[in-house]
Amino acid sequence: MAQRLILPPPAALCYNSTMSRPEINAMTPQEIIQDIDQLFSLPDVVLRVNELLESDQSTISDIGAVISNDPALSARLLKLVNSAFYGFPAQVDTISRAIGLIGTNEVRSIVLASSATSVFRDVSSDLIDMNSFWHRSVYCGLVAKKIAAATRRTRGESQFLTGLFHDLGKLILIIKAPQDYEQLMRVSSEQGTLMSDLEEEWLGFSSAELGAQLLAHWHLPESLWLPVKHQYHPEACDLFVNETHTLNLAMQVTNCVEPELKSGSPQDKIELLDSVAMDDFDLSRENLSTIAGDANIESLEVLSIINPTNATVY
């Protein structure tokens, strides 16, 4: 069994000798995911679709037949394909035609996105507003996708998923160790310390590593979970470097321009962004302001389709 060094809690947390150390502190990300496997398993239809998408032998008909066996998934796919998000001039009424029009990578994004929101539907709202969580995640995914399209450095479909899934590890921590995570959030807010730094100091790993482990457990390709794992330190990633830096920049944009923002100009917020990241991508603040604004407009429509229970009101 892999061993995890049990670190003392940060002094800032002010734990006293009578407080118990969280059980999760002695577990590796792999052990945690194995422990909660039944809670966060993807539906069989999604796993099968992913297998077919990874196979060179599968056809559009094969993929369409599997998706068609799930009426709810089929309805969400067709609703999104027929939405203004894609803007096709004629109604798309079959799964096979939808796949042919948008491509298998886009289908993977829609299938995984809608399924992930269902997998985590029972997360308690005591510590996190799930409506805001998914709105922010969809927004980050759209920003990442648009940066990829603007720079042509990575595939936009994959970048949407890295942005959408980048914070899943936080949900796992909230479920596994809610009281300890609540204290981490409090200290982060009070002292202005990054949550990722507190997580690594107290738990021995970050929520990013935990989320990446879940994606790997779902048998998703490395191009999706490695950027998630290294999202805070993209310079440490040797593979899928462009994907990882794209996700990091999308996260910076998301932090500058929250999707919940109802007033003010994206340009004002983008001014706060680190110019080094933009220079590396050869993007101006004006470019990123346009991307941020477009993603904000599109995020609500995409969110309403992949997570129809979302109650965000504007």
Domain harbouring 220, CATH code = 1.10.3210.10
Asked if the structure places residue 21 within a domain, the reply is no
SS3 135: helix
Please list the pLDDT of the chain residue by residue as tens digits (314 residues): 333 333 344 444 444 333 344 555 667 888 888 887 777 788 888 889 888 988 889 899 999 999 998 888 899 899 989 988 888 888 999 999 999 998 888 888 888 888 888 888 878 778 888 889 999 999 999 999 999 999 988 777 789 999 999 999 999 988 888 888 888 888 888 888 888 888 888 888 899 999 999 999 988 889 999 999 999 998 888 889 999 999 999 998 998 877 655 445 555 567 667 666 677 788 888 888 899 889 988 998 899 888 877 655 44
Residue 46 to residues 17, 28, 57, 135, 247, Cα–Cα distance (Å) = 46, 27, 18, 22, 24
Asked if the structure places residue 176 within a domain, the reply is yes
Asked if the structure places residue 2 within a domain, the reply is no
pLDDT at 14: 46
pLDDT at 1: 39
Query: Rounded to the nearest 5 degrees, what angle is found at the Cα of 220, between the Cα atoms of 178 and 43?
Result: 70
SS3 126: coil
Torsion of CA 192, 195, 198, 200, to 10 degrees: -150
Asked if the structure places residue 179 within a domain, the reply is yes
Residue 270: domain span: 28-306
CA 55 to chain centre: 24
* CB-facing half-sphere around the CA of 203: CA atoms within 13 A: 27
- CB atoms near residue 41 (< 10 Å): 13
Asked if the structure places residue 67 within a domain, the reply is yes
Count of domains forming the chain: 1
Asked if the structure places residue 11 within a domain, the reply is no
| C-alpha span between 13 and 199 (Å, rounded) | 12
Asked if the structure places residue 6 within a domain, the reply is no
pLDDT at 314: 44
| C-alpha span between 200 and 193 (Å, rounded) | 12
CB 147 within 8 A of CB 159: yes
pLDDT at 85: 84
List all residues 6 or more positions away from 234 whose beta carbon is below 8 Å from its beta carbon: 227, 241, 244, 245, 247, 248
* Location of structure tokens 């990123």: 288
List all residues 6 or more positions away from 309 whose beta carbon is below 8 Å from its beta carbon: 121
pLDDT at 246: 93
| C-alpha span between 168 and 116 (Å, rounded) | 9
Asked if the structure places residue 89 within a domain, the reply is yes
